[in-house]
Amino acid sequence: MLHVLLIIFLISLFYLSIANRMTTYINVLALQGVLLFFVAFMELKSINTVNLILILLETVIFKSLAVPLFLKYILKRNHITREAEPFLPNFVSLIITTVIVITTIILSNTMEEGKLDKMFFVVALSTLFTGLYFIASRRKIITHVMGYLVIENGVFVLSLAVGNEMPMLVNLGIMLDIFASVLILGIFLNKIGDVFKDIDVSQLTNLKDY
């Protein structure tokens, strides 16, 4: 069952890579939060209850409710258009995501280690690199933020894999999540939207060497 959830998580990445609308991105992020909730619930058996409740709250309340609602609010407030506007066609995106996943599977097979479930490793690393790819290939600044949130979800998967032995690391991961999301989204909400009317990375090229 754990593996089924992780595979659904992986499939959500493929879906993201061909998604066209901003709302789809937000919904997939919310779905990933719910998936992480169940993964955390099943994986972290030997962790103490208070800590587990904290982790579960973070996944459900923060990842799958607060952040998506906040993103929707930003979309509305800044009148961001519905299209994701990737630099590359969706078909190419799909191929690149597939290549990333296959590469991480090959990489995971070269690591000889019994302690870690390889599925966690594959899902986490491919989420990380797919997130970086989203950041590099999308035109809107808000999609960069979403790419970063995808990376954070990937890191969270990895921290769950070691969570039973080192619960401290999962808590640190939560701290990273909240801190970075609040900082980035906060700047976005307060400043970027007001100053730059059309939110597009081509506007962020004024810092030059000459």
Among 11, 42, 53, 172, binds other proteins (CB under 8 A): 172
Kindly state the smallest distance separating residue 129's Cβ from other proteins, in Å: 11
- 3-state SS, the chain, equals CHHHHHHHHHHHHHHHHHCCEHHHHHHHHHHHHHHHHHHHHHHCCCCCHHHHHHHHHHHHHHHHHHHHHHHHHHHHHCCCCCECCECCCHHHHHHHHHHHHHHHHHHHHHCCCCCCCHHHHHHHHHHHHHHHHHHHHECCHHHHHHHHHHHHHHHHHHHHHCCCCCHHHHHHHHHHHHHHHHHHHHHHHHHHHHHCCCCCHHHCCCCCCC
Gap between the Cα atoms of 169 and 175, Å rounded: 10
Interface with other proteins, residue 63, by CB under 8 A: no
Kindly state the smallest distance separating residue 164's Cβ from other proteins, in Å: 10
- Span from 21-29, 48-56, 86-94, 159-167 in contact with other proteins (CB under 8 A): 159-167
- Span from 11-19, 49-57, 68-76, 171-179 in contact with other proteins (CB under 8 A): 171-179
Kindly state the smallest distance separating residue 74's Cβ from other proteins, in Å: 14
Kindly state the smallest distance separating residue 4's Cβ from other proteins, in Å: 23
Kindly state the smallest distance separating residue 179's Cβ from other proteins, in Å: 6
The pattern of x and - marking residues 112 through 141 that bind other proteins according to CB under 8 A reads: xx-xx-----------x---x--x-----x
Interacting residues with other proteins (CB under 8 A)? 110-113, 115-116, 128, 132, 135, 141, 144, 148, 151-152, 155, 158-159, 161-162, 165-166, 168-169, 172-173, 175-176, 179-180, 183-184, 187, 191-192, 195-196, 204, 206-210
